[in-house]
Structure 1
Amino acid sequence: MDIVAEVLKKSAETAEKYKPITVTKHLDLEYDVGSLLAVDKNELDTKAINKNKNDYLLSLTRDNVQLLLNKVWDLPTERVDETVVVRLPPSTFVLPRSKPVPRPKPLTKWQQFALEKGIKKKKKPKLSWDERLKKWVPLYGFKRSIAEKEKDWVIEVPQNADPFEDQFEKRKIAKQERVAKNELQRLHNIAKAQNIKIPRTGLLNPDVSSSKDLQAAVTVARSSTASLGKFQDKLPKEKEARGISAITPGASRKRKLPPVPATQEKEENLAVLNSILNKKPKLDIEKAVNRQINQEETERSTEKKTRKPGGNKINKSKGGKKPKSGKGKSAGRKRR
């Protein structure tokens, strides 16, 4: 009997701990299983909220999540790597975006040509068998040039060529020109995809080129130094060509700021506002004293200017009366 009572007690505790998976609602929830979204339109129990808000919200959340999981497990399941998974259907709820949907990357000239002709990219092998060297030679990389030197250790001089001309150096220069041409064409394709106008380069024909093209070409040539034209002198009345900021690197660089959440942006704005409103004015004592001295000196100078020239000064220590002419001490002495 003790064992039966203990088992019943454990089952009762388990039943209290784990609630049943069946949940009843007055109104059915709206589901979007693809986004794992459930919308509950039932009215809230105000009495339960006022009594114990946290427990009520916790139980309500548990019931809604249980209903959502019931909908998920109604979908067909499959086993992948000894794990039971469910494939969610496409979502129907449209989530708002903080930024627009990114546009697809435009195709390059070669990609567009390959798409039109149906050319598919094939994975090439890294090595190929050379019949002359009788060994496997890499198709690209620094070891390719070593194999070419071993293969072409001697070059036949053409009939019309200079017999004293270095054919190895000529071949090296031709390869560098091909690489530079390919790089220039790649940059042209990038500029064309981004709708950037590029001025003509090289020898310009004044009959075909406009004044803007010439000015842009001059600016490009001037900014091609290591300092991007910072220390280059300009001609008098010279204006910078339009669109040169898009061509010259570093001419105009816009800061790309990461997206800021609304709460963080609100806190930063409130911090700036508090720093402005709570800012106390700083009193510069030295500056205030100098201003007072300057004001007193200007007042004295104005008083001196307003006095009449040649006027007699009044001696206020002796009654403030002006002595009469001819009746002073010197006059009395002469009479005696």
Structure 2
Amino acid sequence: MARIHRDVSVLGSMALVALCLYCGVAGAVLNYTPGLRYDFYKNSCPRADDIVFEQMTEIFKTKPTAQDGDFGKNVAPDLLRLHFHDCFVRGCEGSVLMDKPGSEKTAPPNGRLEGFDAVDKIKAALEGECPGTVSCADLLAFAARDGVRLTGGFFYRVPAGRRDGYDSIAAEATKNLPDPRMNVDQLTLNFKNQGLTRDEMVILSGAHTIGDVACHHIDNRLYTYPGNNGVVPSLPRAFVKKLKGICPRPNLFDITVDMDQVTPIRFDSQYYKNLASKTSVLSSDQVLYDDVRTRPLVRVLESKLAFLSKFGPAMVRMGNINVLTGNQGEVRLNCRRKNSPGSA
């Protein structure tokens, strides 16, 4: 109870700091990448943002069925994850969406990626109103933002003008995407390679407040940890029992577990509170609290206002990674394949 009172007493000052940082970072990204603008589609497709949000809202409210593919509330974490996995491989240029032999989709880190049917639906709506205008890379950036908004997070403006790449290579995904067993040094280097800071790594990791992960990714927490019957000693007993109830044995690839066991479909700061109570699901999340270099920021981000204020600017920074603009790349008519010669 004492910790709760202390957190409340400093909420005002943390919120002020968060909002000031928000203003500073948001201003800095206006000219971060030449070719990206907040009003990019003002004349060519003025309803682009609205179309994406309308489609995301419709999908979000859809009760999943066999015919609907990967629709429903999972569209929020699915599209957020697609945008992240896209940007960390070749930059934010839509390569993760491509269907071809040996594409990024076939790489082990992307084995459970979903949301492709939702992308197809959104793209069809955009093509219906503005043919050959809005890139798949911009679609992902808009849809990821709207997924955050639909699950309770803050709206943030997304600059546009990205173009789509021509290729997608599995080996590049395996090389560049972070592993769920990484420590802070490894995660920091992984994000640094993309031009992102350690603080931004901690902030962007908060996306794990929604979504799930395959059970086999937590075998090292429940079944294969050296000694202690394979269980990480710091995990609370009740939490271990809960996780083993969901993941009853190791090597389960088809069963998933929510990364936030408290508010799994709400975009809030519960993720960071879970780190403080040792009830994070992934080891690569828990290390952010266990490491003294990242713990202070984790404690700040336990405030919902602080986290949500910082998350948008960090996402905008991530969305600028190695983008194609101007005459580079193309605007795919179908997000799953590059345009054929002669396509508009």
What TM-score, normalized by structure 1, do the two folds share? Answer: 0.18
Q: Normalized per residue, which structure has more helix?
A: 2
Greater RCO, CA 8 A, separation 6+: 2
Compare the two structures and name the one with the higher strand fraction: 1
CA radius of gyration, larger in: 1
